């Protein structure tokens, strides 16, 4: 079931059953440097977080002249045969999936954006959106729209379940999927200044019943806020209308899901209408996407920990803003299919 | 520097002894191992001992070495398994550290060659490991467990002996003209195995960088834990393409069983930890060792390229190294004869 599901997305540009909710902090340094015995001037145990001089507040930092990424890339690329980057993303592969997905984006979902100008043209940012549909249709739409109209790559954080799937996992990774691990997110946002898309509801969002549509689930434990704080990047909330109706869940079985080892086992309206084809076919719901103004945190980056209550407050604040935007958008929606 | 080198007869011990002999600031090199060495050496003294180094305290006291270089750890489980592995890695290191930390011991520096195997390879992993990140799942193989145990000994040793500079280097998978590992062996086959549907990114370090990094840690004071690997990571498919090999797929389920016939036929032994690597890959962050001042000769892509060049040369001329036969008289002549002009005199 899952493999077929994900293949479907493969045609379309990637569904992400995202759960960054389980973000945990790194276990304390289990290493010799902990003792900091006469660590020479060359080494600082905590220094490795911040490679550049522009960061403050991470303990003793060492100024390290960094080779410009361009130089390194040029040297490396002369030997390379593929364009797979450190995250497994291949621009060639991605542009192929974009070409295949374009008709679906334009003629099936007819996605329309509001507040597109809230997306930064440079610098890292964490995009946070609501998550819906049994096989999430929102991730590909958001990634496709931004990459097409802005020309910036978007890395989608998703459950590491994808990594364990043969073929699908590889295609997923080549198209910009990254396993949701705090270290990965930090590297993408802080070191490489990329756009990263995350769905803090995770499988709780995609696995919800149709009657609960547009009711946001818990935003995990707020790990995504902590990552944004640590990386020193803004969070950009995104509200998506349309995904819920593209593959609504009518019934689900926890028992079968447990047996198969997957987050949820749904019977969708699509399956009822089209039979097995329902695994492939989304309903043509009209997509409206609203990008809300960025939220910045006035906390120093690169801290080991951030105040738990502050993190939870911010997380809840973002959830409420997306929820209100959704209600606002639903108030003006006349038809599920025509917007 | 007066250096005690463990595992002189291993690949790395031999290489390192040769590199250290060339340095003027190295006064004495005492190599210990269980077997005869396999590389020609000029001034390294060789002491044969049992695999658990039980006589080491006496050697340390007698030679007054100030630096201990431990390269004897087995990180390739196809070389020693089960009991032997445990004896060499765990008991050997235990005795070595006991000797180095004995009261009145002249040792002021310990350098240990470990492996990125301690991080494992799981789907829960970050794409790049920093030195202070612990593995996401418990170790399943003997070699990983023994290395974790060894590192724990070393940690305690460093805590107990604050006057000794302890350096732990964790190396990525090594490629080079001479070294033989399961992965380099696989890449030398006419067709290279992969796991169907998986194309993990792997990171390599060149064998010269391994020797370079160990020499650097010996010559400089860089206490702490460091990852050592070339920059960048390449997908396995691309590595095979760079080497000019086609791939053959192992099934994604029951992979270990599928690899068994290859083992039995002595074609290729891919142990469990290497199969995990071919499934999920592994990246390690090498910036800390760069910050400590080491300059790498090769990136990962450069390492693979150098390996491919070596392979092409070997295809034409065969094995370029004549096998070395240990001869007492010749070795003794080089080490002790007054007729031999030594560079440091």
Q: What is the pLDDT of residue B324?
A: 65
Rounded to an integer, the average pLDDT of A229-251 is 95
Q: What is the pLDDT tens value at each position of chain B, 345 positions in all?
A: 899 999 888 899 999 999 999 898 999 999 998 888 788 888 888 888 887 777 888 889 899 999 999 998 999 888 887 888 998 899 999 999 999 998 889 999 999 999 999 999 999 999 999 999 989 998 989 999 999 999 999 999 999 999 999 999 999 999 998 888 999 999 999 999 999 999 999 999 999 999 999 999 999 999 999 999 999 999 999 999 999 999 999 999 999 999 999 999 988 999 999 999 999 999 999 999 999 999 999 999 999 999 999 999 888 887 766 666 667 777 777 777 778 776 554
The half-sphere exposure of B65 on its side-chain side, counting CA atoms within 13 A, is: 28
Spatial distance between the Cα atoms of A16 and A329, rounded to a whole number of angstroms: 23
Q: Which residues of B touch A165 (CB under 8 A)?
A: 197
The continuous run of DSSP H or E covering B111 comes out as strand B109-115
Contact B114, B307 (CB under 8 A): no
Whether B341 is in a domain gets the answer no
Give whole-number Cα distances, A230 to A185, A280, B136, B177, B291, in Å.
Answer: 10, 39, 21, 43, 22
Residues A64, B291: C-beta atoms closer than 8 Å: yes
Tokens of A112: 């329309």
Q: What is the pLDDT of residue B320?
A: 64
Write the pLDDT tens digit of every residue in A138-158: 999 999 999 999 999 999 999
CA A109, A114, A118, A122 torsion: positive or negative? positive
Question: Which residues contact residue A158 at a Cβ distance below 8 angstroms, ignoring those fewer than 6 apart?
Answer: A16, A17, A18, A19, A139, A172, A177, A178, A179, A180
Q: What is the pLDDT of residue B163?
A: 94
Whether B342 is in a domain gets the answer no
Residues B134, A30: C-beta atoms closer than 8 Å: yes
Spatial distance between the Cα atoms of B345 and B340, rounded to a whole number of angstroms: 11
Contact B272, B263 (CB under 8 A): no
Domain of A204? 2-21+100-332
Residues B225, A33: C-beta atoms closer than 8 Å: yes
Interface test with A, best of B232, B245, B276 (most A CBs within 10 A): B232
CA B33, B1, B27, B21 torsion: positive or negative? positive
Write the pLDDT tens digit of every residue in A77-133: 678 888 899 999 999 999 999 999 999 999 999 999 999 999 999 999 999 999 999
Q: What is the number of domains present in chain B?
A: 1
Torsion of CA A180, A202, B123, B148, to 10 degrees: 70
Interface test with B, best of A24, A32, A82, A164 (most B CBs within 10 A): A32
Helix, strand, coil percentages in chain B from 3-state DSSP, rounded to 5: 40, 15, 40
Whether A148 is in a domain gets the answer yes
Q: Between A39, A62, A164, which is nearest B223 by CB?
A: A39
Whether A77 is in a domain gets the answer no
Q: Which residues of A touch B155 (CB under 8 A)?
A: 30-32
Residue with tokens 């695994």: A279
ipTM: 0.86
**Strand ranges inside chain A, DSSP E:** 112-114, 125-129, 154-158, 177-179, 195-198, 235-241, 249-252, 266-268, 288-291
∠ at Cα B185 (B182, B191), nearest 5°? 115
Spatial distance between the Cα atoms of A94 and A100, rounded to a whole number of angstroms: 10
Q: Between A29, A32, A81, which is nearest B238 by CB?
A: A81
CATH number at residue B109: 3.40.50.720
Spatial distance between the Cα atoms of B123 and B118, rounded to a whole number of angstroms: 15
Q: What is the pLDDT of residue A263?
A: 85
Question: Which residues contact residue B220 at a Cβ distance below 8 angstroms, ignoring those fewer than 6 apart?
Answer: B292, B293
Spatial distance between the Cα atoms of A248 and A209, rounded to a whole number of angstroms: 7
Spatial distance between the Cα atoms of A213 and A164, rounded to a whole number of angstroms: 30
Residues B197, A31: C-beta atoms closer than 8 Å: no
Q: What is the pLDDT of residue A159?
A: 87
Smallest CA–CA distance, residue A94 to chain B, in Å, is 16
Please give the share of chain A, as a percent, with pLDDT higher than 70: 77
- Which 3 state secondary structure label does DSSP give B227? strand
∠ at Cα A175 (A169, A177), nearest 5°? 60
Smallest CA–CA distance, residue A34 to chain B, in Å, is 8
Question: In B, residues 144-183, which contact A (CB 8 Å cutoff)?
Answer: 154-155, 158-159, 162, 165-166, 168
Asked if pLDDT for residue A49 goes beyond 90, the answer is no
Whether B345 is in a domain gets the answer no
Q: Which residues of A touch B197 (CB under 8 A)?
A: 165-170
Tokens of B157: 């040793």
Residue B291 contacts A, CB cutoff 8 Å:
yes
Smallest CA–CA distance, residue A131 to chain B, in Å, is 22
Tokens of A266: 């749904």
∠ at Cα B22 (B19, B28), nearest 5°? 90
Residue B295 contacts A, CB cutoff 8 Å:
no
Spatial distance between the Cα atoms of B116 and B277, rounded to a whole number of angstroms: 11
Q: What is the pLDDT of residue A80?
A: 87
Whether B322 is in a domain gets the answer yes
Burial of A70 (0-12, 13-18, 19+ CB in 10 A): exposed
Spatial distance between the Cα atoms of B273 and A163, rounded to a whole number of angstroms: 17
Q: Label the pairing between strands A249-252 and A266-268.
A: antiparallel
Cβ-Cβ pairs closer than 8 A, A with B, add up to 145
Q: Which residues of B touch A28 (CB under 8 A)?
A: 132
Please give the share of chain A, as a percent, with pLDDT higher than 90: 60
Residues A29, B242: C-beta atoms closer than 8 Å: no
Helix, strand, coil percentages in chain A from 3-state DSSP, rounded to 5: 45, 10, 45
Q: What is the pLDDT of residue B323?
A: 63
Q: Which residues of B touch A172 (CB under 8 A)?
A: none
Question: Which residues contact residue B66 at a Cβ distance below 8 angstroms, ignoring those fewer than 6 apart?
Answer: B1, B2, B3, B106, B107, B108, B109
Spatial distance between the Cα atoms of B88 and B74, rounded to a whole number of angstroms: 7
- Which 3 state secondary structure label does DSSP give B284? strand
Q: What is the pLDDT of residue B244?
A: 93
Tokens of A194: 């990329």
Question: Which residues contact residue A212 at a Cβ distance below 8 angstroms, ignoring those fewer than 6 apart?
Answer: none
Residue with tokens 């250096």: B3
CA A303, A308, A312, A313 torsion: positive or negative? negative
For residue A31, give the nearest of B134, B69, B122 by alpha carbon.
B134
Tokens of B197: 């549907």
Question: Which residues contact residue B51 at a Cβ distance below 8 angstroms, ignoring those fewer than 6 apart?
Answer: B34, B84, B87, B88, B92
Q: Which residues of A touch B237 (CB under 8 A)?
A: 82
Smallest CA–CA distance, residue A158 to chain B, in Å, is 11
Question: In B, residues 75-134, which contact A (CB 8 Å cutoff)?
Answer: 123-128, 130-134
Q: What is the number of domains present in chain A?
A: 1
Q: Which residues of A touch B201 (CB under 8 A)?
A: 84, 86, 88
User: What's the N-to-C CA distance of chain B in angstroms?
Assistant: 15
Spatial distance between the Cα atoms of B100 and B108, rounded to a whole number of angstroms: 8
Residues B127, A82: C-beta atoms closer than 8 Å: no
CATH number at residue A297: 3.40.1130
Rounded to an integer, the average pLDDT of A228-249 is 95
Tokens of A139: 């991730």
Domain of B194? 2-336
Residue B237 contacts A, CB cutoff 8 Å:
yes
Q: Between A39, A82, A178, which is nearest B235 by CB?
A: A82
Whether A249 is in a domain gets the answer yes
Spatial distance between the Cα atoms of B326 and B38, rounded to a whole number of angstroms: 7
Spatial distance between the Cα atoms of B4 and A243, rounded to a whole number of angstroms: 66
Residue B222 contacts A, CB cutoff 8 Å:
yes
For residue B4, give the nearest of B88, B94, B96 by alpha carbon.
B96
* Phi and psi torsions of B288, nearest 5°: -65, -40
Smallest CA–CA distance, residue B259 to chain A, in Å, is 17
Q: Which residues of B touch A6 (CB under 8 A)?
A: none
Spatial distance between the Cα atoms of A274 and B127, rounded to a whole number of angstroms: 39
Spatial distance between the Cα atoms of A254 and A27, rounded to a whole number of angstroms: 32
Spatial distance between the Cα atoms of A8 and B301, rounded to a whole number of angstroms: 34
Q: What would the DSSP string read from start to end of A244-255?
A: HHHS-EEEE-HH
Q: What is the pLDDT of residue B77?
A: 87
Tokens of A328: 């606002």
User: What's the N-to-C CA distance of chain A in angstroms?
Assistant: 31
For residue B17, give the nearest of B42, B49, B47, B50 by alpha carbon.
B42
Residue B326 contacts A, CB cutoff 8 Å:
no
């Amino acid at each position: 079931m899952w493999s077929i599901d994900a293949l479907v997305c493969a045609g379309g540009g990637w569904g992400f059953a995202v759960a960054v909710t389980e973000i945990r902090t790194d276990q304390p340094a289990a290493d010799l440097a902990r003792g900091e015995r006469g660590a020479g001037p060359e080494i600082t145990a905590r220094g490795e977080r911040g490679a550049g001089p522009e960061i403050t507040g991470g303990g003793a930092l060492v100024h390290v002249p960094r080779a410009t990424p361009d130089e390194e890339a040029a040297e490396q690329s002369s030997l390379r045969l593929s364009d797979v980057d450190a995250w497994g993303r291949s621009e060639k592969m991605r542009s192929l999936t974009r070409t295949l997905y374009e008709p679906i984006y334009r003629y099936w979902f007819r996605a329309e954006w509001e507040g597109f100008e809230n997306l930064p043209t440079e610098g890292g940012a964490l995009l946070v959106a609501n998550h819906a549909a049994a096989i999430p249709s929102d991730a590909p739409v958001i990634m496709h729209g931004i990459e097409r109209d802005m020309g910036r790559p978007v890395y989608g954080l998703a459950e590491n379940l994808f990594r364990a799937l043969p073929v699908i996992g590889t295609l997923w990774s080549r198209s910009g999927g990254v396993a949701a691990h705090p270290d990965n997110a930090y590297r993408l946002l802080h070191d490489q200044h990329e756009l990263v898309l995350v769905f803090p509801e995770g499988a709780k969002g995609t696995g919800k019943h149709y009657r609960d549509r547009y009711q946001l689930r818990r935003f995990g434990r707020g790990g995504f806020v902590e990552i944004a704080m640590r990386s020193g990047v803004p969070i950009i909330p995104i509200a998506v209308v349309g995904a819920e109706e593209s593959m609504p869940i009518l019934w689900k079985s926890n028992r079968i899901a447990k047996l198969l080892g997957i987050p949820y086992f749904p019977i969708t309206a699509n399956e009822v209408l089209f039979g097995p084809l329902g695994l492939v076919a989304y309903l043509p719901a009209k997509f409206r996407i609203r990008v809300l103004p960025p939220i910045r945190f006035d906390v120093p980056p690169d801290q080991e920990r951030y105040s738990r209550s502050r993190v939870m407050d911010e997380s809840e604040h973002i959830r409420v803003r997306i929820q209100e935007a959704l209600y606002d958008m639903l108030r003006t929606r006349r038809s599920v299919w025509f917007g | 520097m007066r250096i005690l080198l463990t595992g002189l007869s291993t690949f790395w011990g031999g290489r390192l002894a040769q590199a250290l002999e060339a340095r003027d600031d190295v006064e004495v090199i005492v190599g210990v191992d269980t077997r005869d060495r396999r590389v020609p050496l000029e001034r390294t003294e060789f002491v044969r001992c049992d695999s658990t180094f039980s006589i080491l305290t006496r050697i340390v006291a007698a030679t007054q070495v100030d630096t201990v270089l431990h390269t004897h750890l087995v990180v390739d489980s196809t070389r020693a398994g089960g009991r032997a592995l445990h004896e060499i890695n765990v008991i050997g290191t235990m005795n070595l550290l006991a000797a180095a930390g004995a009261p009145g011991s002249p040792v002021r520096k310990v350098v240990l060659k470990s492996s990125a195997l301690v991080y494992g390879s799981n789907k829960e992993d970050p794409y790049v490991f920093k030195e202070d990140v612990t593995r996401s799942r418990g170790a399943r193989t003997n070699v990983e467990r023994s290395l974790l145990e060894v590192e724990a000994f070393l940690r305690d040793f460093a805590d107990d002996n604050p006057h000794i500079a302890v350096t732990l280097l964790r190396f990525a998978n090594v490629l080079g003209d001479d070294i033989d590992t399961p992965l380099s062996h696989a890449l030398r086959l006419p067709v290279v195995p992969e796991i169907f549907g998986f194309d993990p990114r792997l990171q390599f370090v060149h064998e010269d960088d391994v020797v370079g990094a160990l020499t650097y840690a010996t010559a400089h004071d860089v206490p702490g834990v460091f990852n050592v690997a070339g920059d960048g990571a390449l997908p396995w498919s691309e590595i095979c393409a760079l080497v000019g090999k086609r791939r053959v797929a192992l099934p994604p389920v029951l992979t270990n069983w599928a690899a068994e016939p290859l083992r039995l036929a002595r074609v290729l032994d891919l142990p469990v930890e290497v199969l995990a690597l071919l499934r999920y890959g592994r990246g390690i962050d090498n910036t800390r060792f760069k910050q400590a001042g080491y300059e790498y000769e090769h990136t990962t892509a450069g390492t693979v390229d150098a390996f491919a060049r070596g392979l092409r040369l070997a295809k034409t001329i065969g094995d370029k190294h004549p096998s070395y036969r240990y001869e007492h008289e010749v070795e003794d002549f080089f080490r002790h004869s007054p007729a031999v002009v030594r560079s440091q005199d």
